[in-house]
């Protein structure tokens, strides 16, 4: 018989060598003590040794009946402390020695809540469950909504608050006020009293809301974290409970004391009693949780709050030696720390040892590097290259490196994508990103939303579902599906123009019969089958909702109805990046199901709607259920707040931009929870001074200090320095490190990636300037790479195979033409010029819709066109127009505040120039503004439909029509370009051909056209825009200095050329003046020395 069992691996315990400062802490046996411990000074080791020494001196809990209590601020830190203490003791203990504040309070309520203590405690302890931060925010919003239903007029709230009441921001601020009130030990009536004294009626509204909120928590049997500590303090008012605990606790040791809030400090004071043993270890320079109620001055108030048995302030000592990093990192981060406030009441020797700890002179000094980049994309690529070089050349394991950012929601997702694309394995804790933002969760939530609606998805939702794991198609597959559906629709309509491809795809998900029609007319295809499965799946989900299914049942139907789970499972059991992504996706989906299981009270549509509302309302991260989904196999990506207590050999602090770090925005500006406080020691609650600008700056500097002090051997800080005012600027904090900044231009020249290696070998293999021997060597290596496969037989480097090279294959053509046979070629006045200048750019931008979001100037231009049109229609004077500008401006989104200010000044100047231009041209009769037109034209037997919108149509004194086009760009055309300016030419042709007969019946004469550049100042002293005129098409039908074309006007010549390009689909790349602004320049063949035809 074979017996199989598990045996714990033996732990090798090393007894640390303590320095004199650490030994003084270990030798401290009674009374309060404050220990100031900077980064890497061994505070955790000191705590462990102090607790172990106390246990060995006084005996463990089972022997003496008393046990030290160790409190810290994260589950990870508590687990680490327990393991280290147990290992040093060589045996386990009867009770946990290290706990978080909240787990300690939770245990107390569970233990003593069943007795006859404070009313409400027993009920709360019986099925006690703690709310995560996202769940709490949802409960607050839900309770606020319930109050609004009962009191639609919101009579409990000041009139100024009612507009903000339904917003998420208001709910978040209400939650902060409630948490702050509980941290101060206030009940709802106390908060109302404080509101009356402070003349803050909005606090009174929160007080009344707080009472109902607490009743909701009691009814559901749940607690939030601030309420948990508050009820534990209530429990300690029972003399019997307090005496029992004091008899059991042999000294209290607190780690990261600077992060305590007033409620936790009060709890410690009540537990310890006068002169009790409380050893608090912390670092005021690492106080970064002010948004959770921690007070930076709290740790420095410790000596007065916790006095000795004789009534003297608690003694203070500092750990004066750092073992984390060498002198260079210590010097750089020390410059940061020197700019942080520190109480003068501390002894001078303590201040000096704390702020300037000694380093090991025999150890490595470390490295500090600061880099500036031209763009966020370049920054991400260089960071990826730096990490790969550290791994491949310096031998660092991926898990020995960390990348820290200021904002998880803003900064983490693009970095995760960029590093993963570069082959850098990354790990991000599940609670760094809100659950609803997880890539694996989005398609399930979207499918649930669509299943709730009778009218099905809209066009955008259809595309997202089809390319999601539920649909299983890519963008090309969606296009093929659309072409098949259009062909079937055209056949059914007898050649008539069908709906758009996007609309037909939408209708197919509602009515799968359309997919069957397409299959009958053109045969089966993978795209049709995948779309059919998705349509059936959505229909089944809809039916399950209508039959009263729960959110969990509908979610399971969607999740299990495809092969997506099987694919994720296979990837998770594999290796590499795909396994890491699959692990993360599965963790996110499991977290989603956890919420669905807890949402079973309601069924049917109402239940699913409630579930969706709860998930979507969880806009903040920090769901502890997803906190531990890390496996230690990749580079850690996390926020600086989450990096507290961690360290790596290499740390990159990325994206340190002014406006983002420091982030000096005033938070909670509506209800101002930070101004709720005690009126002096022992005073009542009332209005206090909020955080000043200097205090907010200090907190941001402390956060940056925490990030930089996570590095053991190498610290790299990066920022982006934008050009031409379009990007962010490096943070002021970079200069405080007193390290020279290196400006890096462009992308990494030779990144250490497989793709870069293949690219270099390909370049050498075809470069005629290289020697034949070198070219042959490159070709041999390419062949080896082309044959290499992974464990599943997939090519590792398909780009190494010449059969896959661009230019080696025949030129492909789309299944459907750009313009269907028999349909006219559609051209707009504004696009004709761009089509003739570069057909490739026109196609990618106008037809493929491949251009990214617009720049700042484009948004300003749209605003100016609206204002100009409004001014002409309503005859609004310039000063009122500036008022309208105020109304619109706040709705615009700018990359940075200073860009908003710069563009606002430009906009006001444009309004002023426009007013001057109007005055100078008041003699012209305005026929219309923003005048749309459609003009059919036939050239060389080709039907063309010209479309456009004329900014301003005028009648001159002699009756002729005149066209004005307003421009807000920064670059004016050359005068030589004006005679053949395509957009103005099309407008003049439209006027000639009667496109504006509804405004000027029978008038076909044109008197020219002009461009008015509102952003550009004319050469004179007075505000006036640059104006460029084009001669009348009547007077100048052919361009001067050029041979007459074959058509009636030069405009017809250009229309004919453009129509031929579109019809023949010859979208070639052409070098022209605007190439430097092209969004597709990186892939442009015209930039190469050889263009493959």
Instruction: Give residue 1092's pLDDT.
Output: 39
Calpha distance 28→379 (Å, rounded) = 49
Calpha distance 1033→954 (Å, rounded) = 16
Query: CB pairs under 8 A, 24+ apart, for 89-96?
Result: 89/52, 89/55, 89/56, 89/60, 90/13, 93/55, 93/60, 93/61, 93/62, 93/67, 94/60, 94/61, 94/62, 94/67, 95/61, 95/67
Q: Above 80 in pLDDT, residue 449?
A: yes
Q: Above 70 in pLDDT, residue 967?
A: yes
Domain boundary among 560, 586, 617: 617
Kindly tell me the sign of the dihedral angle through the C-alpha atoms of 503, 506, 511, 515. positive
Distances from the Cα of 336 to the Cα of 330, 406, 588, 646, angstroms: 10, 17, 38, 19
pLDDT confidence tier of residue 163, bands split at 50, 70 and 90: confident
Q: Residue 713: phi, psi to the nearest 5?
A: -120, -35
Q: Of 349-358, 837-846, 873-882, 1048-1057, which range is least confident? A: 873-882
Helices (H), 975-1038: 982-992
The CATH number given to whatever domain includes residue 89 is 3.40.50.300
| Number of other residues whose CB lies within 10 A of the CB of residue 540 | 15
Instruction: Give residue 982's pLDDT.
Output: 94
The DSSP code sequence of 235-264 is HTTSHHHHHHHHHHEEEEEESSGGG--HHH
Q: What is the largest CA-CA distance in the chain?
A: 113
What digits encode the pLDDT tens for the residues 756-810?
889 899 999 989 999 999 999 999 999 999 999 877 777 888 889 988 887 677 7
Percentage of the chain lying above the pLDDT 70 cut: 89
- Residue 39 assigned ligand-binding role: yes
Instruction: Give residue 893's pLDDT.
Output: 67
Please name which of 770, 748, 745, 746 lies closest in space to residue 757, comparing C-alpha atoms: 748
Strand, coil or helix: 1006 = strand
Report CA dihedral (439, 445, 450, 451) to the nearest 10 degrees.
130
Instruction: Give residue 775's pLDDT.
Output: 94
pTM for the model stands at 0.67
Calpha distance 143→212 (Å, rounded) = 8
Domain boundary among 191, 220, 249: 220
413 within some domain: no
The strand ranges marked E within 707-775 are 711-720, 741-743
Calpha distance 180→697 (Å, rounded) = 22
- Please give the distance of CA 693 from its chain centroid, rounded to a whole number: 25
674 within some domain: no
Higher pLDDT, 872 or 705: 705
Domain boundary among 302, 319, 336: 319
pLDDT confidence tier of residue 11, bands split at 50, 70 and 90: low
Instruction: Give residue 819's pLDDT.
Output: 87
What digits encode the pLDDT tens for the residues 464-494?
999 999 999 888 888 889 888 988 887 777 6
Instruction: Give residue 1053's pLDDT.
Output: 94
- Residue 43 assigned ligand-binding role: yes
Which letter does DSSP use for residue 313 in this model?
B
Calpha distance 1028→1006 (Å, rounded) = 16
pLDDT confidence tier of residue 1093, bands split at 50, 70 and 90: very low
Instruction: Give residue 781's pLDDT.
Output: 94
- Residue 152 assigned ligand-binding role: no
State which of 4-13, 416-425, 716-725 shows the largest mean pLDDT.
416-425
What digits encode the pLDDT tens for the residues 999-1043?
999 999 999 999 999 999 998 778 899 999 999 999 999 998 777
415 within some domain: no
Q: SS3 string of 794-850?
A: CECCHHHCHHHCCCCCCCCCCCCCCCCCCCCEEEEHHHHHHHHHCHHHHHHHHHCCC
- Residue 146 assigned ligand-binding role: no
pLDDT confidence tier of residue 124, bands split at 50, 70 and 90: very low
Instruction: Give residue 880's pLDDT.
Output: 79
7 within some domain: no
Residues 422/610, Cβ–Cβ less than 8 Å? no
Q: Above 90 in pLDDT, residue 931?
A: yes
Query: Is 946 in the same domain as 1037?
Result: yes
Instruction: Give residue 1089's pLDDT.
Output: 40
The CATH number given to whatever domain includes residue 991 is 3.90.320
Query: Is 141 in the same domain as 254?
Result: no
Token pair in block for residue 63: 């022997």
623 within some domain: no
What digits encode the pLDDT tens for the residues 411-432?
888 888 888 888 888 888 755 6
Q: Above 70 in pLDDT, residue 309?
A: yes
Residues 647/711, Cβ–Cβ less than 8 Å? yes
Q: What's the structural domain count of the chain?
A: 5
273 within some domain: yes
- Residue 822 assigned ligand-binding role: no
- Residue 272 assigned ligand-binding role: no
- Residue 41 assigned ligand-binding role: yes
Query: Is 189 in the same domain as 270?
Result: no
Instruction: Give residue 114's pLDDT.
Output: 41
Beta bridge partners of 64: none
Query: Is 215 in the same domain as 242?
Result: no
Query: Is 544 in the same domain as 598?
Result: yes
pLDDT confidence tier of residue 595, bands split at 50, 70 and 90: confident
The CATH number given to whatever domain includes residue 575 is 1.10.486.10
Consecutive H or E run containing 368? strand 367-373
Query: Is 292 in the same domain as 259?
Result: yes
Q: In the predicted model, what is the mean pLDDT of residues 80-88?
A: 89
Residues 959/1009, Cβ–Cβ less than 8 Å? no
Calpha distance 756→758 (Å, rounded) = 5
Residues 109/235, Cβ–Cβ less than 8 Å? yes
Cβ-Cβ contacts under 8 Å for 1091 (sequence gap 6 or more)? 1069, 1085
1000 within some domain: yes
Cβ-Cβ contacts under 8 Å for 472 (sequence gap 6 or more)? 530, 533, 534, 562, 563, 564
Q: Residue 891: phi, psi to the nearest 5?
A: -85, -10
Residues 998/894, Cβ–Cβ less than 8 Å? no
| Number of other residues whose CB lies within 10 A of the CB of residue 1023 | 16
Q: Above 90 in pLDDT, residue 333?
A: yes
Query: Is 475 in the same domain as 597?
Result: yes
- Residue 174: which domain range? 129-220
For 948: left if phi > 0, alpha if psi spans -120 to 50, otherwise beta; the answer is left
Q: In the predicted model, what is the mean pLDDT of residues 960-981?
A: 91
What digits encode the pLDDT tens for the residues 500-518?
888 899 999 999 888 998 8
Query: Is 455 in the same domain as 525?
Result: yes
Instruction: Give residue 411's pLDDT.
Output: 86
Query: Is 185 in the same domain as 255?
Result: no
pLDDT confidence tier of residue 860, bands split at 50, 70 and 90: confident
Query: Is 837 in the same domain as 949?
Result: yes
Instruction: Give residue 808's pLDDT.
Output: 74
pLDDT confidence tier of residue 625, bands split at 50, 70 and 90: very low
Calpha distance 786→775 (Å, rounded) = 16
Calpha distance 560→645 (Å, rounded) = 40
The DSSP code sequence of 315-343 is PEEEE-B--SS-HHHHHHHHHHHHTS---
Calpha distance 641→404 (Å, rounded) = 9
Query: Is 52 in the same domain as 170?
Result: no
Query: Is 196 in the same domain as 288?
Result: no
Q: Above 50 in pLDDT, residue 623?
A: no
Calpha distance 384→172 (Å, rounded) = 36
770 within some domain: yes
- Residue 44 assigned ligand-binding role: yes
């Amino acid at each position: 018989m074979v017996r199989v069992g598990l045996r714990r691996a033996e732990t090798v315990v090393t007894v640390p060598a303590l320095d004199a400062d650490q030994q003084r802490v270990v030798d401290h046996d009674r009374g309060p003590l404050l220990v100031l411990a900077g980064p890497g000074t061994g505070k955790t080791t000191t705590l462990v040794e102090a607790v172990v020494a106390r246990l060995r001196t006084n005996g463990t809990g089972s022997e003496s009946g008393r046990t030290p209590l160790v409190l810290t601020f994260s589950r990870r830190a508590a687990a680490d402390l327990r393991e280290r203490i147990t290992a040093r003791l060589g045996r386990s203990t009867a009770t946990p020695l290290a706990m978080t504040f909240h787990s300690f309070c939770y245990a107390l309520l569970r233990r003593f809540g069943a007795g006859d203590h404070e009313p409400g405690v027993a009920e709360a302890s019986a099925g006690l469950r703690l709310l995560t931060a996202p769940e709490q925010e949802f409960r607050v919003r839900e309770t606020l909504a319930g109050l609004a239903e009962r009191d639609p007029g919101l009579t409990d709230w000041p009139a100024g608050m009612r507009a903000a009441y339904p917003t998420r921001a208001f709910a978040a601020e209400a939650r902060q006020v409630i948490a702050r009130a509980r941290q101060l030990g206030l009940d709802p009536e106390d908060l109302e009293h404080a509101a009356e004294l402070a003349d803050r009626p909005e606090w009174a509204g929160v007080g009344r809301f707080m009472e109902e909120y607490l009743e909701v928590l009691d009814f559901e049997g749940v607690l939030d974290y601030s309420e948990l500590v508050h009820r534990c303090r209530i429990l300690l008012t029972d003399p019997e409970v307090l005496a029992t605990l004091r008899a059991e606790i042999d000294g209290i040791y607190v780690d990261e004391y600077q992060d305590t809030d007033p409620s936790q400090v009060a709890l410690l004071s009540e537990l310890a009693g006068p002169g009790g043993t409380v050893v608090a270890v912390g670092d005021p320079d690492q106080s970064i949780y002010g948004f959770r109620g921690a007070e930076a001055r709290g740790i420095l108030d410790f000596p007065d709050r916790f006095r000795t048995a004789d009534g003297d302030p608690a003694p203070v000592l500092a750990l004066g030696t750092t073992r984390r990093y060498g002198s260079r990192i210590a010097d750089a981060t020390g410059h940061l720390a020197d700019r942080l406030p520190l109480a003068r009441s501390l002894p001078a020797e303590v201040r000096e040892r704390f702020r300037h700890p000694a380093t090991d002179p025999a150890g490595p000094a470390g490295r500090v590097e600061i880099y500036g980049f031209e763009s966020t994309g370049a920054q991400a690529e260089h960071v990826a290259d730096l990490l790969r070089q550290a791994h491949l050349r310096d031998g660092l394991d991926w898990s020995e490196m960390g990348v820290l950012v200021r904002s998880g929601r803003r900064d983490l997702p693009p970095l995760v994508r960029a590093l993963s694309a570069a082959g850098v394995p990354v790990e991000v804790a599940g609670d760094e990103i809100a659950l609803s933002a997880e890539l694996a969760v989005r398609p399930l939530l979207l499918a649930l939303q669509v299943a709730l609606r009778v009218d099905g998805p809209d066009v955008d939702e259809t595309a997202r579902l089809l390319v999601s794991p539920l649909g299983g198609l890519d963008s090309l597959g969606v296009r093929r599906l659309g072409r098949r559906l259009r062909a079937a629709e055209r056949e059914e309509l007898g050649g008539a123009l069908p709906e758009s491809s996007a609309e037909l795809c939408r209708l197919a998900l509602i009515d799968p019969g359309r997919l069957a029609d397409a299959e009958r007319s053109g045969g089966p295809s993978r795209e049709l089958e995948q779309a059919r499965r998705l349509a059936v799946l959505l229909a089944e989900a809809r039916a399950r909702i209508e039959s009263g299914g729960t959110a969990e049942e509908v979610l399971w139907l969607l999740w299990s109805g495809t092969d997506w789970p099987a694919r994720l499972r296979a990837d998770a059991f594999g290796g590499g990046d795909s396994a890491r992504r699959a692990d993360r996706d599965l963790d996110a989906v499991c977290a989603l199901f956890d919420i669905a299981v807890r949402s079973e009270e309601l069924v049917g549509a109402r239940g699913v709607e409630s579930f969706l509302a709860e998930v979507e309302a969880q806009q903040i991260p920090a769901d502890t259920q997803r906190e531990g989904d890390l496996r230690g196999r990749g580079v850690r990506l996390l926020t600086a707040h989450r990096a507290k207590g961690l360290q790596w050999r290499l740390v990159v602090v990325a994206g340190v931009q002014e406006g983002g770090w420091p982030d000096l925005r005033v938070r909670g500006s509506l209800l101002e929870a930070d101004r709720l406080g005690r009126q002096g020691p022992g005073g009542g609650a009332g209005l206090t001074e909020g955080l000043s600008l200097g205090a907010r700056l200090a907190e941001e500097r402390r956060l940056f200090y925490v990030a930089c002090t996570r590095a053991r051997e190498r610290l790299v800080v990066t920022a982006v320095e934008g050009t031409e005012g379009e990007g962010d600027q490096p943070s002021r904090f970079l200069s405080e490190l007193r390290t020279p900044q290196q400006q890096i231009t462009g992308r990494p020249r030779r990144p250490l990636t497989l793709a870069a290696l293949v690219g270099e070998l390909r370049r050498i293999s075809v470069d005629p300037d290289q020697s034949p021997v070198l070219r042959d060597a490159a070709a041999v290596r390419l062949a080896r790479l082309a044959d290499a496969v992974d464990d599943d037989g997939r090519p590792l480097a398909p780009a190494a195979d010449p059969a896959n090279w661009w230019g080696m294959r025949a030129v492909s053509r789309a299944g459907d033409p750009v313009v269907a046979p028999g349909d006219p070629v559609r051209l707009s006045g504004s696009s004709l010029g761009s089509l003739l200048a570069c057909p490739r750019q026109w196609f990618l931008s106008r037809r493929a819709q491949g251009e990214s979001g617009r720049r700042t100037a484009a948004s300003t231009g749209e605003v100016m066109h609206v204002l100009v049109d409004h001014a002409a229609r309503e005859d609004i004077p310039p000063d009122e127009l500036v008022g309208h500008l105020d109304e619109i401006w706040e709705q615009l989104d700018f990359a940075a505040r200073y860009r908003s200010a710069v563009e606002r000044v430009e906009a006001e100047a444009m309004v002023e120039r426009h007013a001057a231009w109007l005055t100078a041209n008041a003699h012209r009769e305005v026929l219309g503004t923003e005048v749309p037109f459609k003009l059919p034209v036939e050239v060389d037997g080709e039907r063309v439909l010209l479309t456009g919108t004329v900014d301003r149509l005028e009648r001159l004194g002699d009756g002729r029509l005149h066209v004005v086009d307003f421009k807000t760009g920064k670059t004016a055309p050359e005068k030589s370009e004006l005679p053949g300016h395509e957009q103005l030419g099309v407008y003049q042709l439209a006027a000639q051909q009667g496109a504006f007969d509804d405004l000027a019946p029978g008038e076909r004469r044109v008197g020219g056209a002009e461009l008015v550049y509102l952003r550009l100042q004319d050469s004179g002293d007075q505000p006036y825009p640059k104006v460029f005129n084009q001669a009348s098409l009547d007077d100048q039908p052919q361009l001067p200095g050029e041979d007459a074309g074959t058509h009636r006007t030069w405009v017809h010549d250009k229309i004919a050329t453009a129509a031929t390009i579109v019809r023949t689909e010859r979208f070639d790349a052409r070098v022209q003046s605007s190439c430097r602004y092209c969004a597709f320049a990186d892939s442009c063949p015209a930039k190469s020395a050889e263009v493959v035809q």
